Amino acid sequence: MRINLRAFGILAAMSCLGFSAAFAADGSWKFQTEDRGHPELIYSENNKSIFMVGCGHAFAIHAVYPGEPKKDGEKATLTVANAKREMKFEGQIDSGYDDDPPNTTHFVQWDLGYERQNPGLYGKKWKENESRLFDFLDSGQPLTVSAEGRSYVLPPIKIRDWKLRFKKIC
């Protein structure tokens, strides 16, 4: 019997995050600009954001944290993997936003882990890290988001020229 990988990924996400079947039914990636023109790449389900990369006042990675719930401000590590490699993000738990799924913990990493006072912030090495992240996300493969032995799977991003548009704005 052949298993549909997308269906398997959705079921894995539902079981790890406690989502109902109705909640996980309409997930999709989209690239948009928010009210002030800042770019956002978002995976959402039923208008609830699961994973987001955005740029505005700072460069941000936001995600539903699959590990054990933590307190606001507590340090956390999130791993995102595809079939070929993985990337780890050191960040913190944030109080969340109105468009988070109910009963979830929210992870955030600012500026790819660079401190605001770091002279390398938005410099050559930082831009290389940003490009590496974008190429990784745009691999055409499902992405597994994990922490503390729990995970969920996001479908591949299939948005034409999102990297180019993101970099042009940000």
Count Cβ atoms within 10 A of the Cβ of residue 168 and give its class: 0-12 exposed, 13-18 middle, 19 or more buried: exposed
- Model pLDDT for residues 52-69, shown as the tens digit of each residue: 999 988 999 999 999 999
- Model pLDDT for residues 87-109, shown as the tens digit of each residue: 999 999 998 788 889 999 999 99
Domain count, the chain: 1
Phi, psi of 51 (to 5 degrees): -145, 135
* CA dist., res. 68 & res. 66, Å (int): 7
Q: What domain range is 18 assigned to? A: 5-169
Whole-prediction pTM: 0.83
